[in-house]
């Protein structure tokens, strides 16, 4: 049976890459970094939503079910990129 190099390259690279377990200690308890990034991102997205409501721009965001989760993902990935990657 002939093996395709297109399949071996991704599998081989996955085996060669080291795993990263970014763990942060807060008050004696250990939390994964992605969990902290999600919580901070959620907090920032909620603050931005309150600011947009106060300014009156919230009505222009359509559909809200996509806009605010996208804002949450943006802040989460930004926080993770800035603070938790080495």
pLDDT in tens, the chain (86 residues): 566 566 666 666 555 555 556 777 777 778 788 889 999 999 999 999 999 999 999 889 889 899 999 999 999 999 999 988 86
Torsion of CA 41, 56, 53, 66, to 10 degrees: -50
Q: What's the whole-model pTM score?
A: 0.69
CA distances from 20 to 17, 75, 78, 84 (A): 9, 21, 18, 11
Q: Domain spans of the chain?
A: 40-86
């Amino acid at each position: 049976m002939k093996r395709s190099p297109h399949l071996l390259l991704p599998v081989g690279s996955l085996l060669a890459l080291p795993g990263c377990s970014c763990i942060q200690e807060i008050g004696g308890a250990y939390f994964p970094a992605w969990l902290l990034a999600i919580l901070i991102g959620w907090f920032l997205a909620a603050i931005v939503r309150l600011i947009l409501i106060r300014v009156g721009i919230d009505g222009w965001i359509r559909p809200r079910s996509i806009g605010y989760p996208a804002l949450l993902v943006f802040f989460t990935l930004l926080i993770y990129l800035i603070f938790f990657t080495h």
